Structure 1
Amino acid sequence: MAIAATLKDIAKSVGVSLATVSRVLNYDRTLSVSESTRKQIFEVAEELNYTKLKHRTATPSKQLKIAIVQWYSKTKELDDLYYMSIRLGLEKRCEERRILATRTFQNDLQAIDPDVDAIIAIGKFSDAQVEAMSQLTPNLVFVDQDQLCHGYDSVVTDFRFAVTQVLDFYAKHGHQEVGLLYGSEWTTDGQLEVVDPRYKAFRREMEARGTYNPKLVFGGDYTNHSGYQEMQTAIAQLGDDLPSAFFITNDPMAAGALKALHENNIDVPQRVSLFSFNDTTIAKYVFPELSSVHVNTELLGATAVDLVENRLQTGRTTPQLVTVGTELKLRESTKG
C-alpha cells in the first residue's frame, strides 16, 4: 500500500487531517493534539501493517483467560511503538482463538483477574516482579526477555545476527567506522538495569573486526528526544571525524538523530547513512525513510499466545525459548 494512501486511510479512520497524521507520526511535539488522538493515530497506523485474519480456529470448550502485562505506561508505549506492536499482534491472536485477553500497564498486578489462566508479560521485569506474577499463575510467558533459566517460556528476537547483518551491509558499502546510538533503561521497580542487547552485539562484533571505537558510541534512553540529543553531542564532539554511518537501536531514536543531522545541514545518506532497528511505522514516515531491521512484532505476540495454548492443552512443563529472526529493510537513509 502506498504511503500517501495509508496516510489518507489513517486520517479518515481517526477523523483528522492528513497533515495532522503526518506530524504526529513524525513526533512533532509542537502540534497541539490530545493524547487520545495521538494514541489512536499510532494504533490505526500499526493496525494497517497487519494482514487481516483469514481463518479462525474452533472455539475451545472453555474460554481461556490471559492477562497481558505491559511494562510500559500507556503514554510511554506511544514513544516506542515496538511494544505496542507486540501487544496488538498478541491481541489479534487472542481474538482469532477466541481467548479473552485483558491488559494492564506498568505491572499493575492488582488489576489482574485472580482466575486468569496465564500471564503474558511484554518487556523487562526484575526477579521480584517475576516472582509476584508467578504467585498469580504458574503459566507465564515473557516476550522480549529471556526467562528460560527461571523456568518460563520466552519469545525473543535474534539481536546478534541482526546487528551482524547491518555491519556486514555497511562494510560491503565501504563504511569501516560505524557509530552507535543505543539505549538503556530500568525495570519499573528500579531493581534491574537493562542494557541494550544490540549494544552488546555491536561491541562484540566490532571488536572481532578490530574496528570498535568507544568514541563513536553514545548512550541514551530509547526516546526520540534522546536520539536527537545524542546525535547533537556526536556532531559537536566529533566534528569532521563524524563517521559516515550510524547504527541506531530503535526507530524513535533514529528519527531524533535524523532531525539533528538535518538541523546541522548534514546530508543523509550522502554524508551519513543511518540504519535503525525494529522497523515500526515511523521508519516509513520520516524523511528520508529509514533503513531498519524489521522485527516481526506480530509474530512475537502470536507466538506467545501459541505457547500458552500448548502448555495448557498438553500439560507441558518444560520451558521453551523461541527466537524470531529478522530481516533488513533498505530504504533511503542508506546508500547501496
Structure 2
Amino acid sequence: MAVTLKDIAQQANVSLTTVSRVLNYDASLSVSDETRQRVFEIAEQLNYVKHKRFGRQQVKKIAVVQWYTEKQELDDLYYMSIRMGIEQHCQQLGFKAIQVYQNNLDQLPADVDGIIAVGKFSQSQIKQFKQINSHVILVDYDGLGLDCDSVVTDFDHSVSNAIDTFLLRNLKDIGMIYGSETTADDEENVPDPRRHYFIKKMQAEQIYQPEFVFEGRYTSESGYQMMKQAIRQLGEGLPHAFFIANDPMAVGALKALQEAKIEIPNRVSLISFNDTTIANYVYPGLSSVHVATDQMGASAVDLMVEQFNSDRDYVKKVTVGTKLIERQSVVNHR
C-alpha cells in the first residue's frame, strides 16, 4: 500500500498541511527545524514516493558562486558573511550548498538545481550561469535589467542617513572615499552606488564639494593611500567628516589619520559601511552602516525556493534595509 501524507502526519504528530508544505519546501511556513527534520526523516523511512526525489541521493543542490577568490574573501568579511548566510539557510531547508570561487568557475557542477551568485558578474558570466541552470539569483548586484532575481542593499536611505548624522553634528564639510571595481572576469566596470547617492544627497543639501571625493579600491591599503592623498592635498582644508564606502577602506583611512596625528573624532569624524566585525575592534570603534548580510543570504535562498515552487514569468528584486551603528568615530556634538 502506498504511503500517504496522512501516514507521515500521524507519525510526525503534525497536521496534513504542515507535512505537505514541508515536503514542498515552502519557505513561508513557520515551523521549527526539529519538526521539519522529523517530517523528512519519517517520509524517508516510509519510502514516501514524492519525497524520494529529495532523498539523500537527490537533495536539492545549490551552487553558491563567490566572485572573489578564497584569499580575497578572507580580506572582505562582507562577502564571506553573505555566503555563510546562504549556506546556513540552505542547511535549514535541507539543501546542499556547493561553494564555487571566482578562480574555479570551470568547476561549477552541471547538475546543480540552482545558482546563487554573490558579487559582481558580467553579462557573459550570467549567461553562462543560465546555460547551466535557469534558476539564477544575484546577490549584491541588481539583476532586474539582466532578467535575474536579485537581493540588494538599500543604498539610497543608507547614505542619506549617514550624511544626516553628520549634519546633526553641524558637520557640513563632508568628504567621501569610495571604490571602483570590475566584474569577476574584468569585462565590465561596476560603479559604486554609494557615490551616486552621496552626490545626490550632498547636492540636495547644497554642500557638495567634488574636491573632497577620492576614488580608490575596496581595500585597507587603498583607504590608507586615499586618506593620505586627502591630507596632503587639502591640508587645513581637510573636511571634518568622511563617509567611506566599506570597512577595510575605513580602517586604512583611520591609520593614515592617526599617523598624521589628526584627532578622531574631534578633528575628523568617520562613518563606514557594512559594519563587519573589524568596525568594532579597531580604535576608536568605527561608526558604520550595518548591512544585514545574513538576511541577504536567506532572502536569496527564499527566492530560489520561490522559483522552484512557482512559474512566475517576471523577475523580482528584494531590497534589504540597513541601520547605522554609532561608535566612537563620530563626534557627539559640535
When normalised by structure 2's length, the TM-score is 0.83
- Deviation of 1:206 after TM superposition, in Å, equals 0.8
- Deviation of 1:108 after TM superposition, in Å, equals 3.0
For 1:265, the equivalent position in structure 2 comes to 261
For 1:283, the equivalent position in structure 2 comes to 279
For 1:193, the equivalent position in structure 2 comes to 189
CA contact (8 A) 1:109 1:133 kept: no
For 1:229, the equivalent position in structure 2 comes to 225
For 1:144, the equivalent position in structure 2 comes to 140
Q: Which has more radius of gyration?
A: 2
Q: CA RMSD in A?
A: 1.5
- Deviation of 1:284 after TM superposition, in Å, equals 0.6
Q: For residues 238-292 of structure 1, what are the alpha-carbon distances to aligned partners after superposition, in whole Å with 9 as ceiling and x for unaligned?
A: 1100111000010000000000011010110011000000000100110000000
For 1:280 and 1:264, the matched residues in 2 are separated by: 25
The runs of at least 4 consecutive aligned structure 1 residues that moved more than 4 Å come to none
For 1:124 and 1:297, the matched residues in 2 are separated by: 16
Of residues 15, 33, 55 in structure 1, which corresponds to 2:33? 55
For 1:132, the equivalent position in structure 2 comes to 128
- Deviation of 1:149 after TM superposition, in Å, equals 2.1
* Residue 315 (str. 1) matches residue 293 (str. 2): no
For 2:24, the equivalent position in structure 1 comes to none
CA contact (8 A) 1:289 1:331 kept: yes
Of residues 175, 181, 202 in structure 2, which corresponds to 1:179? 175
After TM superposition, the structure 1 = structure 2 runs for residues 1-336 of structure 1, keeping only pairs within 5 Å, are 55=33, 57-58=36-37, 59=40, 61=51, 62=54, 63-106=59-102, 108-336=104-332
For 1:149 and 1:213, the matched residues in 2 are separated by: 32
For 1:158 and 1:132, the matched residues in 2 are separated by: 28
- What runs of 5+ residues in structure 1 fail to find an aligned partner? 1-53
Q: For residues 169-223 of structure 1, what are the alpha-carbon distances to aligned partners after superposition, in whole Å with 9 as ceiling and x for unaligned?
A: 1111101110100001011222110111101110111112111111100011010
For 1:123 and 1:208, the matched residues in 2 are separated by: 30
For 1:162 and 1:247, the matched residues in 2 are separated by: 11
For 1:93 and 1:198, the matched residues in 2 are separated by: 28
- What runs of 5+ residues in structure 2 fail to find an aligned partner? 1-31, 44-50
For 1:209 and 1:280, the matched residues in 2 are separated by: 29
**What number of residue pairs does the alignment pair up?**
284
% identical equivalent positions = 49
For 1:107 and 1:67, the matched residues in 2 are separated by: 15
- Deviation of 1:107 after TM superposition, in Å, equals 5.9
For 1:208 and 1:164, the matched residues in 2 are separated by: 10
When normalised by structure 1's length, the TM-score is 0.82
